[in-house]
Amino acid sequence: MSRYPSIYAGQRITGTLLQSMLPNIIQKLASTDRSSTTTLADDPDLTTTLEANARYLVEMEIWYAASTGSSGLRTAWTVPSGVTGNRSALGMASTVSDTTPAGIGRWGVHAYSTTVFYGDRQSSTNLALAKEVSMVTTGSSAGTLALQWAQDTSSADACRVGAGSVMRVTRLA
């Protein structure tokens, strides 16, 4: 089992070395609203840079709200060129709204660029939860990793990715 970083007997322990062992935790401090668009765009906060030829565990906890008009949330990921892997998606099924029975969900594994659709609570402020996780392996290119998102159905009613959403990125190799 590989560990990152490799530490050797007699190696000098530095602050940089110790910090490289910690996960990068990116928390959304303010909500972002989008309306009248189904075009996926990178979230302004849930983004980071990945190094080339590395492996990461990426976990996203997305707190979102969508009112009746916007009919839910759609997501995908921006990843550097040459990345391999897939992402898992857990959350409300796209057919779920606050008026349908609870317990209907989506559990799937998708390519990074595949659009995933989540249901809503028919409220612009009552948050729902979606979780997406992946083992990301970069190739020879470093680059941006970001959550992309938009409304499921274009509407003047805003869709929101809420403050408190988190992206945790842990380098493994």
143-151 and 166-171 as β-strands: parallel, antiparallel, unpaired? unpaired
- Rounded CA-CA distance 159/118 in Å is 12
- Residue ranges with strand state E in 6-155: 24-27, 32-34, 41-50, 55-66, 73-78, 87-92, 105-110, 116-118, 123-137, 143-151
**CATH code of the domain in which 95 resides:** 2.60.120
Structure confidence at residue 161 (pLDDT): 97
For residue 126, the enclosing domain spans 24-171
Whether 17 is covered by a domain: the verdict is no
Domain count for the chain: 1
Q: Is residue 166 part of a domain?
A: yes
- Averaged over successive runs of 10 residues, the pLDDT of the chain (173 residues) comes to 77 86 95 95 98 97 84 94 97 70 79 94 84 98 98 90 98 94
ω into residue 5 within 30 of 0, thus cis?
A: yes
pTM: 0.90
